């Protein structure tokens, strides 16, 4: 693979990961704020977005940040 194609592939991957990381961060900040993942019995229903709670979104956000760092 030529160096320019490799650079393009890395740049596109980094661009995609950056926007996914931004989206997951905005979801954590605005749609699933801190405290939205508490136990349902004590604080009402647990909020979900696309069948994922705040903990799952936080885990996804951390994994995306590691992938972006590696890219």
Per-residue pLDDT in tens (0 to 9) along the chain, 71 residues: 699 999 999 999 999 999 999 999 998 888 877 766 565 555 566 677 777 888 888 899 999 999 999 99
Of residues 66, 71, 55, 61, the one with CA closest to residue 15? 71
d(CA 15, CA 52): 24
Question: Can you give the pTM of this predicted structure?
Answer: 0.76
d(CA 57, CA 50): 10
d(CA 51, CA 3): 41
């Amino acid at each position: 693979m030529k160096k320019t194609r490799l650079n393009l592939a890395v740049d596109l991957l980094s661009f995609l990961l950056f926007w996914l990381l931004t989206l997951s961060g905005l979801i954590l900040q605005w749609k699933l704020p801190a405290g939205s993942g508490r136990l349902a019995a004590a604080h009402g229903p647990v909020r979900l977005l696309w069948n994922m709670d705040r903990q799952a979104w936080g885990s996804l956000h951390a994994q995306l940040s590691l992938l972006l760092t590696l890219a």
